[in-house]
Structure 1
Amino acid sequence: MTKDMTTGSPVKLILCFSIPLLIGNIFQQFYSMVDTIIVGRFLGVNVLAAVGSTGSLSFLVIGFVQGLSAGFSVLVSQRFGANDEYGVKKATSSAIILSVIMAIIITAVSLILVDPLLNLMNTPQDIITDASSYISVIFIGVFATFFYNIISSILRALGDSKTPLYFLIVSSILNIILDLVFIVNFSMGVAGAAYATVISQGIAGLLCLIYTSRKFTILKLKREHFKLDSEYIKQHLKIGLPMAIQFSIIAIGTIIIQTAVNAFGSTVVAANTAASKVEQLVMQPPISFGITMATYCAQNLGAGNIDRIKEGVKKCAIINIILGIFAGFILIFFGSGFTNLFVSDSNPEVIAFAQQYLSTVGIFFIPLSLIFIYRNALQGMGYTLVPMLSGIYELLARSIAAFTLPSMIGYLGVCFAGPIAWIAAAVPLVFSYYNKINKLSNPCDEYYAKTSN
């Protein structure tokens, strides 16, 4: 069911929206972790390293898809906040058309670039074949990823974070079953894990589509709604492309980090893979509240409720600071216990390198948590330039650190690259948000006047 976030207690609305989103994100991370655990325990450390070495490439493409999907949903959310039902339908149909076109392009380009990029990243020769097999299947499944992400993003734009959760839970359980069947029973190797992920996400998207077409009247589209409207296409691309590019810029930074990690050999690659999975898991609460800000700010901007945006962002930032402190505590003191899940023989070198990474990044989770709030708030209000630029600052900082620090302090230099990048991204986002929100608070502001009409 849709949820209007323009009235009522901001904190209550934010919590009610964020909790299902958090559960869904945890499940998504859970079945990603299950992939890694099953691969590590049944196929060995080298295959685990192969899967891990593709993580940054996967993020480059899947992150682009997620950025587009989230960007395409912003206009839907703004029209919903303005009580414009026809506008919601037109924004939704335009988003679907663009998603199909972009899925075709992204799939073709990503498959062509798989092997060149793996070689460019200095992927160790003992894992490059498995790495190519795994990531190629993931890229073939871009349609399934786009399918689920665009539908779930539109539902969240309407204030419904529960429906995508229900089908994601089904998908997670199915993914575990298929992992075991494909890898253990059918001996499909690393490609089996990729097939399990793609099939599971495709089914989640299909279930979402069937349910929403029957239950959401506002999303019942007719042929007339699919008539191309250049203004809607323009607005979608104006918001969606910078958000997608921002995701990809961040992903390029992770590719650079992965290249630096690859230089240390398969053991460090495996350790970094396991540590990254643990890091992603504890990051989900601040990520979830950040995503909530995009919908909350978009709806309230559509309704012209600038003071509600200020109140919601302030309180959500406080929540995320608390969550960042708690997440860092978990990584520093309990990280090695989680890492043990991924390694069948409790390899002491893998555990040690993984804990070194987790202890380093855990100290800097507060700036990371703030990035999620202010970046999504700006994007929800339609300001995509500074979030994209912050991604460039993050990329530059990460690249400089990755190219210089490892030669001086070894793997610890790789560990510090992320935190340095987070600080470089957080500072401009915070300043930009307060600059924009102060301008919008002025009734004479031209943008505010247009939005209120």
Structure 2
Amino acid sequence: MEGNLTKGPIMKTLVKLAIPIMASAFLGTLYNITDMAWIGLLGSKAVAGVGVGGMFTWLSQGLASMARMGGQVQVAQCIGRGDREKAHGFAQAAVQLSAAMGIAYAVLCLIFVNQMVGFFRLEDAEAQAAALAYTKIACGLIVFSFLTLTLTGLYTAQGDSKTPFMANLIGLVTNMILDPVLILGPGPFPRLGVTGAAIATVTAQAIVMSIMILGIIARKKENVLKGTRLFAKIPAEFLRGICRIGIPTAIQGMAYCGISMILTRMVSGYGAEAVATQRVGGQIESISWNTADGFAAALNAFVAQNYGAGERERVRKGYQVSLWTVGIWGVLVSAVFICFPNAIADIFFHEPKAVATAVGYLVIIGFSEAFMCVELTTIGALSGLGRTRLCSVISIVLTSARIPLAIVLSGIMGLDGIWWALTSTSIVKGIIFTCTFFWIMREKSV
């Protein structure tokens, strides 16, 4: 039977669900940091190329969130209402939609890869070649990532966060073994460089997906994913339900990435070191981002199940507990970024100019970490209530403000002005999202 999140102590229920999700998110951070650490040995130009290619895998995550969020919220709410048949219908539809979108995205990327990479106007030939090589492999086989995200969401909706954690742990170990072997080519192994990093990542994603599928087949407990037929026709009712919840989330994620692409194009004018700093800095920052996003995923399932069961007071209390937890974590990360930027930068960069650029990024971005954690957690709670459209509007409007703000501030402070544009908007978003949630709950209009 699925994990019931509508009963028991709120803190214990949330933490029990959240810890494996947060651990999985942390493993995702280690995936990226491991890649960057090894690729960093190839130089800042290789890192810049992977950074550009990584933009397109990030863009895909926004699209993939449509099936994941739509499926997770609908399945959790159905479980909360005790409607198991509908829960299975939404779960199957989410998996089918995820597979179809992953394949379609891969085909488009392979056809238009030159135009996509060309958008960033990389002046260095080595960085350009690295970006093309990484994008072709990482995006060409992106379907594994799509299905992994959706399956994780559906497991979470049922209160099972342990299976995705174990799958991601095995994937991380695989990635950590393959990275140095395929990137650097020790002994008899060929030195594949950036191509090796892409192969290692895709292989790990395929393994994670396979383990979660085997978990559905092997486990004796009831699971809404059992009996899923990949090639069956998707009933319109389930497709509409997933799209209603998932499309705003997908638009939000893709818009966020699109805005970041424009900012990256601005950053590229300051050289390959600046692009590499943005890429690596983003991965370092994911220590707080992925952890908060993991807690948000747990809160999303908790809120959705309790909302479906009519337990509004548990929804309110669960959010308050989560807010304090991720807020404290964000403050700790901020302190580390601001106080020890040189120690962090030295891990990933070996050129003085790149280290100096990275230190400036970490100090400035450090001021917004707690606010970003609060923002992500609140989006998880609001999405669990089905308010994905509201989240999308707030997020897109405020994130879009980064572009004109970056133009103005970079004219005054140079590259640091772009970093301050990111930080200031994150602070504002954290405050506004928190106020929005409390306003909705006070009005009892959920």
Establish whether TM, by shorter chain, passes 0.5: yes
Q: How far apart are the structure 1 equivalents of 2:370 and 2:228?
A: 46
Output the CA distance in 1 between the equivalents of 2:54 and 2:234: 36
Q: Which amino acid aligns with 1:325?
A: V
Aligned length: 439
Amino acid at match of 2:11: V
Q: What's the offset of the Cα at 1:45? A: 2.2
Give the 3-state SS of the residue equivalent to 1:172 in structure 2: helix
1:210 equivalent in structure 2: 214
Q: CA deviation at 1:225?
A: 11
Distance 1:52 1:349 in 2: 18
Q: State which of 265, 271, 277 in structure 1 corresponds to 2:283.
A: 277
Q: Does 1:436 find its partner at 2:436? A: no
Measured after TM superposition, the shift of residue 224 of structure 1 is 12
Which residue identity is paired with 1:154? Answer: L
Are the counterparts in 1 of residues 144 and 209 from structure 2 also a CA contact under 8 Å?
yes
- Kindly provide the amino acid, as one letter, of the partner of residue 237 in structure 2: E
Which residue type is aligned with residue 68 of structure 1?
A
After TM superposition, list the pairs within 5 Å mapping 1:223-234 onto structure 2: 226=232, 228-234=234-240
Counterpart AA for 1:233: L
2:75 maps to: 76
* Residues 42-73 of structure 1: per-residue CA shift (max 9 Å, x gap): x2221112112333332112232135313322
The equivalent of 1:395 in structure 2 is: 399
- TM-aligned CA deviation for residue 234 of structure 1: 0.4
Aligned match of 2:416 in 398, 412, 428?
A: 412
Structure 2 SS opposite 1:186: coil
Aligned to 1:57: 56
User: Does the Cα contact within 8 Å between 1:107 and 1:142 map onto a contact in 2?
Assistant: yes
Looking at structure 2, the residues matched to 325 and 431 of structure 1 have their Cα atoms a distance apart, in angstroms, of: 19
Aligned twin of 1:386: 390
Structure 2 residue aligned with 1:168:
168
| Residues 71, 244 of structure 1: 8 Å contact kept | no
Question: Aligned equivalents of 1:170 and 1:222: distance in 2?
Answer: 24
Residues 14-63 of structure 1, C-alpha deviation per residue, up to 9 Å, x if partnerless?
1111111111111111121111111111x222111211233333211223
RMSD in angstroms over aligned alpha carbons? 2.0
SS of 1:24's partner is: helix
Q: How far does residue 430 in structure 1 lie from its aligned partner after superposition?
A: 2.8
Q: CA deviation at 1:347?
A: 1.9
**1:41-56 to 2 correspondences below 5 Å:** 41=41, 43-56=42-55
The one-letter code matched in structure 2 to 1:4 is N
Aligned pairs for 1:31-430 within 5 A: 31-41=31-41, 43-126=42-125, 127-183=127-183, 184=185, 185-215=189-219, 216-218=221-223, 219-221=225-227, 226=232, 228-343=234-349, 346-430=350-434
Please give the alpha-carbon distance, in whole angstroms, between the structure 2 residues aligned to 1:95 and 1:276.
Answer: 29
Measured in 1, the distance between the counterparts of 2:441 and 2:138 equals 40
Shift of 1:411: 1.1
Partner Cα distance (1:279, 1:65) in 2? 22
Residues 69 and 153 of structure 1 are in contact (CA less than 8 Å); yes or no, is this contact kept in structure 2? yes
Q: Tell me the amino acid that sits aligned with residue 286 of structure 1.
A: A
* Contact 2:102/2:146, CA 8 A, preserved across alignment: yes
CA positional deviation for 1:83: 1.8
CA distance 1:227–1:105, change in 2 (3 Å): closer
| More deviation, 362-371/202-211 | 362-371
Report the alpha carbon displacement of residue 98 of structure 1 after superposing the two structures with TM.
1.5
Q: Summarize the Cα distance change of 1:3–1:367 in structure 2 as closer, same or farther, 3 Å threshold.
A: same
The sequence identity of aligned pairs, in percent, is 25
> What are the Cα deviations for residues 388-442 of structure 1, in whole angstroms up to 9, with x where unaligned?
11221233211112222212101111111212222343344234323332343xx
Amino acid at match of 1:415: W
Partners of 1:263 and 1:38 lie apart in 2 by 25
Residues 179 and 223 of structure 1, relative CA distance in 2, 3 Å threshold: closer
Aligned partners of 1:205 and 1:171: how far apart in 2? Answer: 9
Task: Tell me how far apart the structure 1 counterparts of residues 231 and 192 of structure 2 sit (CA, whole Å).
Answer: 44
Compared with structure 1, are the counterparts of its residues 396 and 228 closer, same or farther at alpha carbon in structure 2 (3 Å cutoff)? closer
Map Cα deviations across residues 361-392 of structure 1 (whole Å, 9 max, x no partner): 11122321221121111111111111111221
Unaligned runs of 5+ in 1: 449-453
Counterpart Cα distance in 2 of 1:202 and 1:110: 19
Partner of 1:451: none
Contact 2:2-2:222 at 8 Å conserved across structures: no
Counterpart Cα distance in 2 of 1:223 and 1:134: 32
In the alignment, structure 2 segments of 5+ residues that lack a partner are: none
Residue 207 of structure 1 and its aligned partner are, at CA, apart by 1.0
Moved more, 409-418 or 361-370: 361-370
Deviation at 1:227, TM superposition (A): 5.3
SS in structure 2 of the partner of residue 217 of structure 1: coil
Q: Which residue type is aligned with residue 276 of structure 2?
A: A
Separation of aligned partners in 1, 2:230 and 2:61: 31
